[in-house]
Amino acid sequence: MPSLNQIRTGLMESGIVAVIRTDTPEPIPEIVRALLRGGIRTIEVTLTVPGAVEVIRDLCLEWGEHALIGAGTVLDVEACERVVAAGAHFVVSPIARVSLVPIAREAGRVLMLGAYTPTEAQCVHESGADFVKVFPCDLLGASYIRSLRAPLPHLRIVPTGGVDLKTAPDFIRAGCAAVGVGSTLMPKAMVREARWEELSMLASEFRRVVAEARSGLLA
């Protein structure tokens, strides 16, 4: 198991958290293989997937040395304990569930808690969470993140919702630590039709636009 700092650094270096939310667990191994081929190595499986804890355990055993495998939609302490025991490198909640902080800290796992307002974002940060998941970000956009970080530049923000190939660079330029991408990276039709090569190409394109946005910040 990598250290807390290694997980945190790896997530930021990746720049993209692929959020897998499927109706059944069967396609997930192929999805993960396609994402890895496309260069995305930070992967979150939401607990809305049937049998998600077992899926996370299997992914950690198979890919844990090559990728960061996380658990999403973690809503309570019991669920957090289960995914940590399954080997998840990071834990994500869409809400400001600060009671998860001690569990993640004791286990040496990265924690990302949800927030929507400046007050929630700062409270999540002060609770000890590693990242602030601004969710849902569909209607907020990069301009909201820019405004949020103006008085609160210390926040490590990961927006989720409304992130696609066009908006991902805008979020990175606004100062986000990474972006969370779900259906725009893994469209349901693509998964249903098992178009894995196409998924790998799309993953590679997401990697490219995020990398170019970061390069522009350093120029």
DSSP secondary structure string for all residues of 113-163: EEE-SHHHHHHHHHHT-SEEEE---TTTHHHHHHHHHTT-TT--EEEBSS-
User: For position 79, what pLDDT does the model report?
Assistant: 98
Alpha-carbon distance of 4 to 48, in angstroms, equals 26
Residue 200 · residue 39 · CB < 8 Å: no
**Domains annotated on the chain, with CATH:** 4-209 (3.20.20.70)
Cα angle: 42, vertex 74, 134; to 5 degrees: 65
**Nearest 10 degrees: Cα torsion 147, 95, 161, 29:** 140
Extract the tokens encoding 214.
């970061």
Given 13, 26, 30, 44, which residue is catalytic?
44
User: For position 216, what pLDDT does the model report?
Assistant: 78
Alpha-carbon distance of 181 to 166, in angstroms, equals 12
The predicted-structure confidence for 4-29, as pLDDT tens digits, reads as follows 999 999 999 999 999 999 999 999 99
Specify whether 188 is catalytic: no
Residue 41 has pLDDT above 60, yes or no: yes
Residue 62 has pLDDT above 90, yes or no: yes
Average pLDDT over residues 190-195: 96
The predicted-structure confidence for 169-178, as pLDDT tens digits, reads as follows 999 999 999 9
Extract the tokens encoding 204.
């590679």
Q: Where are the alpha helices (DSSP H) in 15-128?
A: 28-37, 52-63, 77-85, 101-107, 118-127
Q: Could you tell me the sign of the dihedral formed by the alpha carbons of 174, 43, 188, 193, in that order?
A: positive
Residue 84 has pLDDT above 90, yes or no: yes
User: For position 139, what pLDDT does the model report?
Assistant: 86
Residue 88 · residue 71 · CB < 8 Å: yes
Given 26, 65, 81, 133, which residue is catalytic?
133
Specify whether 81 is catalytic: no
Cα angle: 115, vertex 39, 190; to 5 degrees: 80
Most confident of 139-143, 188-192, 214-218: 188-192
User: For position 219, what pLDDT does the model report?
Assistant: 53
In three-state secondary structure terms, 46 is strand
What is the reported pTM? 0.95
The predicted-structure confidence for 87-144, as pLDDT tens digits, reads as follows 999 999 999 999 999 999 999 999 999 999 999 999 999 999 999 999 999 888 999 9
Extract the tokens encoding 49.
């997937």
pLDDT-derived band of residue 218, with 50, 70 and 90 as boundaries? low
Q: What percent of the chain has pLDDT over 70?
A: 99
Instruction: Give the DSSP H or E segment for 91.
Output: strand 90-92
